[in-house]
Structure 1
Amino acid sequence: MALLTIYALGAVLSAVFAFVCFHLAIFLVDYRRRRNMLVQFPHTKPHFIFGHLLEYPGPNDEGLAFQREMTEQFPVASLVWMMHIPMLVVSHPKTVSVILKSSEPKGPRTYNLIRPWVGDGLLTSKGDKWYRNRRLLTPAFHFEILKSYIELKNRCADILVGKFVQAAESSTSFPIFSNVIKFTLDVILKCAMSYETNCQLPGNNHPYVNAVGVLSDIMVKRFFQPWFHNEFLFSLTPSGRKFFKQCDFVHQVAENIIRERKDELERQQTNTSDGKQRKCLDFLDILLTAKDEKGDGLTMREIRDEVDTFLFEGHDTTSSAISWALYSIAEHPEIQQRAQDELDVVLDQAGHIDVMWDDLNKLPYLTMVIKEAMRLHSPVPFIQRILTSDTEIDGKIAPAGTAVNCVIYNIHHNPVTWEDSMKFDPDRFLPENADSRSPYAFVPFSAGPRNCIGQNFAMHEIKIALARILHKVNLRLDPNHKVEKMESLIMRAKNDIQVLVTKRS
């Protein structure tokens, strides 16, 4: 009996060993096949352990300079090894278009870092769920809905402009990023959820606003700590425990707001004479009332995920765009004056200080300034996709499963497309110059089917903020403050951007 048990155990172990060896052999054969396909793409010689990881100076100005050098050396596509993990980098309109024209899912290695916060919304979802939710959410960005937000954005801008004026009166250096991010958060909370926090007011310590700030700060630090990209290991750290605690809190707040709005909509359906009914549905109303062709709406969890996603994408990225635009405007007084001359014609002749809906299309030069700022500084520096099938890129086949980085910063500084790419020149976007370029040469909001659904919302907000500020004050960079870029999911300023402000006569 004992001998039979030994034979049985030996047979089981042999079977397990054979199973492991079989699948290991399949993995090695497939890895070699994929490697042989990928090494056809141009690249520098990698280190046998670290790949190209040690060549990268870091997520700073030196790192961005390195990216420009690599783009000059490999302007179309290149292969990068992050230790043993291969990634393709595409930087030319003809290779970028191959990826962005598709509906390939986002790369999990990067986007999973924010999934505990934003859930499975449009930013991170894929396949049928993404298609369905994208169709359901598109009406939330109809121009009639966007038009209804103009008043709110101007009222939020009142507070921000007041801070600039106060800095001018006190002759103190003014930190742009830390104030603009409160403005964009105020806008998105009011427009998306009709939620009032007074987060721009001095001394306001609303717990929801604080939680969002904590989440953003921790997420940026984790992004540059690859050893903590594993969620389990990260959850064991003090920062990880704090991160997940704040995630639970913002989810709870969002769910309470959603539940209250749902009850309100149900009351309005039973009582059409309810005087509290809003003239126009906001983003949250659209989420609650949207139904697909089967008559099914979004679940409470799906609504919460989309609210959290819109909150993240709608305030962090927009604050970066506004802040870097102000930086370049303060750096170039002749461009600042030209934009102000245009604003004086539009706003002074109209006799109002608000930027109205009809004014948005009367500011072509300011629009060019905004586009050039987003090209030069690229608020969202990169997009990562995963190929679901073998794909031809620049005449070579990239195998399924390959991570492809559309590095927007590199695309916007590719010397093949952009001459003297570090020069701030809004005239690049004059019609006669822009019409001759590929639409995939300038992709601040991505492009194709997975482009940013809220790009018109964001552009309106950026225009209103810049117009209101520049119409009231003059800006110049504080010569005693060094501005340093910090590249992560969002292009940030390491130590903020300090400007000196004077009132316009």
Structure 2
Amino acid sequence: MTVTTTRSTRSAARAPVVAGTPLLGSLPDLLRDPLAAYLSARRECGDVVRFRIGPPGLRRELHGVFSPEGVQRVLATEAANFRKDTPFYQEVRDQIGNGLLTSQDADYLRQRRLVQPLFTRRRVNGYAEGVAVEAAELAESWRAAPGGSVELIGEMRRFALRVVGRILFGTDMEEAVAVVERTLPQLQDHALKRGLAPLKTPPTWPTPANRRAARRQAELYGLCDRIIESRRDGGDGGDGGDGGEATGAADSGDDLATLLARAENAEDGRLDHTEVREQVLIFLLAGHETTATALAFALHLLGRHPEERRRAREEVDRVLGGPGGRAPTAEDMEALPYLTMVVKEAMRLYPSAPIIGRRAVAGTEIDGVRIPAGADVLVSPWVTHRHPGYWDEPERFDPERFTPEAEAGRPRYAWFPFGGGPRACIGQHLSMLESVLGLAVLLQNHDFDAVEDEDVPLGAAITLIAKGPAWCGVTARVG
């Protein structure tokens, strides 16, 4: 693939180098705490920086681009020049396959055409009932919460996986919860370490780390195979339809697994079993992570901010009627603007995909700095969402940042939790609907208070990783 850029890079300066150790450069910092390392790099070196990774002779460079304007160039206006050819993405492909998250070119376009029908706005709105049902069941279970408190990270992950099971796979996901919790963090850590390693053994070599990763991968693949088989055995129960009358459960044969298994046309052919499994795996993992992260941290933040919690609860009561009121629908999204702002602010502070990598095909210039051909490049919602040039007191929780007027006054890519450009997340409308309606049901049924005021320890690989619990007190509301 040949890509040329229209900007001359001859006179542009090289990016400043982030300080590291003489022997390994920035590698220890990126392995120990990548989120802190990227924030520190922007603060100390500017909006375009270079990390040197590994020992002399084996060292490689990684460019960080942190301004909204630079992010837009990488993800949107020069998207064809920045591809998913990085070492980290190759490790992700090895772990979870060549689905929508990792595929490129003709493979990506073919896959996107096949799954796009499940994510039209009309069809996604039809999933609202399923979201409300699952949220109501979760709220009811919290009435018996031991000690009157719940651990939000695990609870929201299980909720989001159940929603994915209901509306995308048409199957029970209780087994998936345990498998994902047991395997995904370890596979992400393995991919991160191999993606940064100056030298690495072939993935087929029977090292202890490779053998552990292979066992976890086999467990995930087995789960996806069982989901696919369950739809083939009993899931195709109807003629489909346009999704406008959806019941919230994928019980009409139009769920993702069934659609992919039977999809075929003259242009795209037919997906084989491996391709179906890879798509199911991507949506199993990515399809729940954004919602789980947004909900867990929205509740965590509301629990620590009583005035914002009061405003959100009053809006929910006004629209839905309070405890014992009606369930929310997709049409209620417009009537819940403050709750939507809460979710967006939670996504700003805790983006589920905090780091996004690319590789430059041709040399270009960003923010006056030269990006050479072949350079590995990252953009980071975690860093850009905290950029003091665009966010006042960036660590402060303030949903008012997302009024229409405030959003219109910022660059488009000052906030990009769903990525952007031609590779923007296909499920972003579904994630927002799940998060806002799920949060509405929980606030309708419970009051929330922080159990402790300490921040949740975090890490990052493919997704944002909570390294500790997020406890929150819950008190059932009485109508």
Query: How big is the shift at 1:236?
Result: 2.9
Give yes or no for the alignment of 1:236 onto 2:206: yes
Cα distance in 2, alignment partners of residues 120 and 295 from structure 1: 16
Cα distance in 2, alignment partners of residues 287 and 144 from structure 1: 20
Q: Provide Cα deviations, 1:271-324, integer angstroms capped at 9, x if missing partner.
A: xxxxxx955722233323444552623232222111110111012332122111
Give yes or no for the alignment of 1:71 onto 2:32: no
Which residue in 2 is equivalent to 1:211? 179
Amino acid at match of 1:91: F
CA change 1:260–1:122 in 2 (3 A) is same
Counterpart selection for 1:179 from 129, 139, 155 = 155
Give yes or no for the alignment of 1:49 onto 2:23: yes
Count residues in correspondence.
Answer: 452
CA change 1:234–1:427 in 2 (3 A) is farther
Which residue in 2 is equivalent to 1:5? none
Give yes or no for the alignment of 1:87 onto 2:62: yes
Contact 2:304/2:453 (<8 A) preserved:
no
Q: Which has the larger radius of gyration?
A: 1
Any idea what SS the aligned residue of 1:114 has? Answer: helix
Q: Provide Cα deviations, 1:142-185, integer angstroms capped at 9, x if missing partner.
A: 12321332222222212321233222xx5333211111111111
Amino acid at match of 1:72: R
Amino acid at match of 1:450: R
Cα distance in 1, alignment partners of residues 423 and 113 from structure 2: 12
CA change 1:37–1:79 in 2 (3 A) is farther
Give yes or no for the alignment of 1:112 onto 2:90: yes
CA change 1:70–1:183 in 2 (3 A) is same
Contact 1:37/1:398 (<8 A) preserved:
no
Amino acid at match of 2:340: T
Contact 2:49/2:65 (<8 A) preserved:
yes
Counterpart selection for 1:345 from 318, 321, 325 = 318
Q: TM-score, normalised by structure 1?
A: 0.81
Which residue in 1 is equivalent to 2:275? 302
Amino acid at match of 1:217: P
Amino acid at match of 1:282: D
Query: How big is the shift at 1:494?
Result: 1.6
Amino acid at match of 1:136: L
Counterpart selection for 1:408 from 381, 391, 394 = 381
More off after superposition, 223-232 vs 133-142: 223-232
Query: How big is the shift at 1:419?
Result: 1.5
Contact 1:353/1:468 (<8 A) preserved:
no
Cα distance in 2, alignment partners of residues 258 and 66 from structure 1: 41
Cα distance in 2, alignment partners of residues 228 and 242 from structure 1: 21
Aligned runs of 1:131-150 on 2, under 5 Å? 131-150=109-128
Cα distance in 1, alignment partners of residues 83 and 346 from structure 2: 28
CA change 1:426–1:158 in 2 (3 A) is same
Cα distance in 1, alignment partners of residues 101 and 378 from structure 2: 16
Which residue in 2 is equivalent to 1:487? 460
CA change 1:193–1:353 in 2 (3 A) is same
Which residue in 2 is equivalent to 1:317? 290
Contact 2:12/2:365 (<8 A) preserved:
no
Cα distance in 2, alignment partners of residues 400 and 65 from structure 1: 27
Query: How big is the shift at 1:213?
Result: 2.2
Cα distance in 1, alignment partners of residues 445 and 322 from structure 2: 15
Contact 2:190/2:213 (<8 A) preserved:
no
Query: How big is the shift at 1:224?
Result: 5.7
Give yes or no for the alignment of 1:436 onto 2:414: no
Q: Provide Cα deviations, 1:38-59, integer angstroms capped at 9, x if missing partner.
A: 9711234554432233455832
Give yes or no for the alignment of 1:255 onto 2:225: yes
More off after superposition, 188-197 vs 420-429: 188-197
* Structure with greater helix share of residues: 1
Cα distance in 2, alignment partners of residues 151 and 405 from structure 1: 38
Cα distance in 2, alignment partners of residues 191 and 267 from structure 1: 15
Query: How big is the shift at 1:215?
Result: 1.5
Cα distance in 2, alignment partners of residues 192 and 231 from structure 1: 37
Amino acid at match of 1:90: V
Contact 1:184/1:318 (<8 A) preserved:
yes
Cα distance in 2, alignment partners of residues 250 and 225 from structure 1: 20
More off after superposition, 346-355 vs 424-433: 346-355
Cα distance in 2, alignment partners of residues 294 and 211 from structure 1: 36
CA change 1:381–1:501 in 2 (3 A) is same
Contact 1:372/1:424 (<8 A) preserved:
yes
Contact 1:171/1:501 (<8 A) preserved:
no
CA change 1:164–1:261 in 2 (3 A) is closer
Q: Provide Cα deviations, 1:24-81, integer angstroms capped at 9, x if missing partner.
A: xxxxxxxxxxxx999711234554432233455832xxx6455334323344211111
CA change 1:477–1:441 in 2 (3 A) is same
Amino acid at match of 1:192: L
Cα distance in 2, alignment partners of residues 234 and 423 from structure 1: 46
Any idea what SS the aligned residue of 1:499 has? Answer: strand
Query: How big is the shift at 1:228?
Result: 11
Query: How big is the shift at 1:265?
Result: 8.0
What percentage of aligned pairs have identical amino acids?
A: 28
Which residue in 2 is equivalent to 1:245? 215
Query: How big is the shift at 1:245?
Result: 2.8
Cα distance in 1, alignment partners of residues 141 and 322 from structure 2: 25
Q: TM-score, normalised by structure 2?
A: 0.85
Cα distance in 2, alignment partners of residues 480 and 409 from structure 1: 21
Amino acid at match of 1:251: Y
Query: How big is the shift at 1:193?
Result: 1.4
Which residue in 2 is equivalent to 1:469? 442
CA change 1:422–1:47 in 2 (3 A) is same
Cα distance in 2, alignment partners of residues 288 and 191 from structure 1: 17
Q: Provide Cα deviations, 1:327-377, integer angstroms capped at 9, x if missing partner.
A: 111110100100001000110189743221211221100011111111112
Cα distance in 2, alignment partners of residues 65 and 233 from structure 1: 29
Which residue in 2 is equivalent to 1:274? none
Q: Provide Cα deviations, 1:114-160, integer angstroms capped at 9, x if missing partner.
A: 33442100101111111222222222101232133222222221232
Aligned runs of 1:357-376 on 2, under 5 Å? 357-376=330-349
| RMSD (CA atoms) | 3.1
Cα distance in 2, alignment partners of residues 229 and 310 from structure 1: 31
Contact 1:218/1:239 (<8 A) preserved:
no
